[in-house]
Amino acid sequence: MTGDVAEPALADRFDPLELTVFAQGVAMLAEEMGTLLERSALSPNIRERRDASCALFDAAGRMVAQAAHIPVHLGAMPEAVAAVRAAGAEAGDLFLLNDPAHGGSHLPDLTMVEAIADPGDPTAVIGYAAVRAHHADVGGMSPGSMPFGATELYQEGIIVPPVRLERAGRPQDDVRRLLLANVRTPAERDGDLRAQRAACAAGREGWRALHRRLGGGPLTRAIDALLDYTERRVRARLAGLEGADGTAEDALEGDGVGDREIPVVVRASVREATLHLDLTGTSPAVPGNVNAPAAVARAAAVFVLRVLCDDEVPVNDGIARALRLSIPVDCVANARRPSAVAAGNVELSQRLTDTCLAALARAAASRGVEGLAIPAAGQGTMNNVTLGAPGWSFYETLGGGQGASAAGPGPSAVHVGMSNTRNTPVEALERAYPLRVAAYAVRRGSGGEGRHRGGDGVVRCYEALEPCVATVLSERRRRPPPGAAGGLPGACGINRLNDAVLPAKCRVTMQPGDCLTIETPGGGGWGAPLP
């Protein structure tokens, strides 16, 4: 709690039914934004895989609701809105950004933020609608803008600080033209940006309708009550772990420039119903692109805290109130410009999540706490695959095995941890690109043995129909996903070009008939295998 004795009285003005209706209502506004985005986007990455997130914020920049989209965006979207507010957003302005130093995560994630004008006073801001979407290309040294071997941010694509696409509702087309001149697929990018614009407009109209129905004062009080309620629920969950303390270590398998393992260390402790996560001991920033801005580490921390709670706890800024995150300066999880960061958003975020959960499990064990059901490690990677050539660019991440837990076996062939996307349907992929999916199946037997088995990974084989470049950014090719409570680890992943085994991170040229095969890791098992 914040210590303000007036807060409980404020929350008591809303009975549980009113608060539930309000929470579900604002969540549905964000979900409706996402539905419109998916139906309007041109690229399969957004339309089919749903690699995007939508959220609504109040006039003070507090996140009121985020749709159940991408966890890695969970703690990062508020920083994008904060950057837009710091840039002087006025009512009716529409901003675009991807700069990791100003609210972004990595460059392919273009975030659009609209400052919502009060329908009764066009000069007053009553909230913000935000949409973050992963674009299949934003320029840079490699098709798809998820390059192998990048050592500077400038190699990864065009950098967009918070800039206006619209000023008071009037388009500023110069910025759009500049952006589209720096990408390989301008028509697709323009279509996806227009879909984001439509989603922001839907959020704006929904928020305005809510503001008209409730009035400005009651709406603010309802938001205060909702965030206070969320905070109380989170702190109540943490109260059962009071005094718990545990540390876990893991590592990334190189940065794309070298193969040296990159330590990730997390100490988790609970004090005064607050989760403290300390990354002291984690590697300094590295030459390759597995670095990440602090917003990504915050997203991992917020995600871990969220999954610790019951499913019905709303997703808003009330969660982060119960979190304290400490990251060393210029750590790999707090990298400064000009560090390359394309893979950090997708791979370091996964390792941070695994390590935070492992530290929490040890902290709970230190206090003899049972019933958390923290699972063994899942596949721990997004298995990023980018294929492209002049005129087209395809990107997707692949699911794998989830770790088992005391509650049961881990699910197979799912996106795990910081990724919540879908796969690209074979039909959509083959229709849009000169590629053929030669195989797609569950990787049977790849989950770790245990009293409860870890989930199995997948096998996906891409056959090139014309010359193209393939980039793979993956993890858990040397270090298997560990089991828990005596369970065995899941199988490592494998990357192949035809019959040749590829490194975890690589860039290769493919000719017609070549096949790139990705076998994703299984999840760790839970509990010693039964005799």
DSSP string, 86-100: HTT--TT-EEEE--G
Distance between CA atoms of residues 215 and 213, nearest Å: 6
Res 148 pLDDT > 50: yes
pLDDT of residue 76: 80
The whole-number average pLDDT for the span 467-479 is 98
User: What are the tokens at 433?
Assistant: 């690109």
pLDDT of residue 419: 87
For 174-189, write each residue's pLDDT tens digit. 999 999 999 999 999 9
Res 2 pLDDT > 70: no
Mean pLDDT, the chain, as a whole number? 94
pLDDT of residue 5: 32
pLDDT of residue 9: 37
Closest CA to 442 of 424, 421, 457: 457
125 pLDDT tier (thresholds 50, 70, 90): very high
Percent pLDDT > 70 in the chain is 97
For 430-450, write each residue's pLDDT tens digit. 999 999 999 999 999 999 999
* Cis ω before 119 (30° cut-off from 0): no
72 pLDDT tier (thresholds 50, 70, 90): confident
* Sign (positive or negative) of CA dihedral 519, 521, 525, 531: positive
Count CA atoms closer than 13 A to 372's CA, side-chain side: 27
User: What are the tokens at 30?
Assistant: 């964000």
Helix/strand/coil percent split, the chain, to 5: 30, 25, 45
6 pLDDT tier (thresholds 50, 70, 90): very low
| Choice between 367 and 201, residue whose per-residue pLDDT is larger | 201
Res 7 pLDDT > 60: no
Res 199 pLDDT > 50: yes
The count of other CB atoms within 10 Å of the CB of residue 438 is: 12
Distance between CA atoms of residues 528 and 483, nearest Å: 9
Res 410 pLDDT > 50: yes
Res 461 pLDDT > 50: yes
Res 8 pLDDT > 50: no
User: What are the tokens at 342?
Assistant: 């394309």
Query: What do you get for the CA distance between the two ends of the chain, in Å?
Result: 48
The count of other CB atoms within 10 Å of the CB of residue 461 is: 16
Res 265 pLDDT > 90: yes
For 309-340, write each residue's pLDDT tens digit. 988 899 999 999 999 999 999 899 999 999 99
> Which phi and psi (to 5°) does residue 351 adopt?
-70, -35
The whole-number average pLDDT for the span 459-482 is 98
Closest CA to 162 of 52, 39, 61, 300: 61
Res 358 pLDDT > 70: yes
Which helix (H) or strand (E) segment is 303 a member of? helix 294-307
pLDDT of residue 14: 72
pLDDT of residue 150: 96
pTM score:
0.94
Query: Over 499-510, what HEC string results?
Result: CEEECCEEEEEE
The whole-number average pLDDT for the span 241-266 is 96
Closest CA to 32 of 216, 168, 252, 203: 203
For 488-524, write each residue's pLDDT tens digit. 999 999 999 999 999 999 999 999 999 999 999 999 9
Distance between CA atoms of residues 313 and 351, nearest Å: 25
User: What are the tokens at 275?
Assistant: 């989760």
The whole-number average pLDDT for the span 454-467 is 98
The whole-number average pLDDT for the span 374-388 is 96
pLDDT of residue 369: 82
10 pLDDT tier (thresholds 50, 70, 90): very low
Closest CA to 58 of 139, 156, 134, 124: 124
pLDDT of residue 267: 98
The whole-number average pLDDT for the span 25-49 is 95
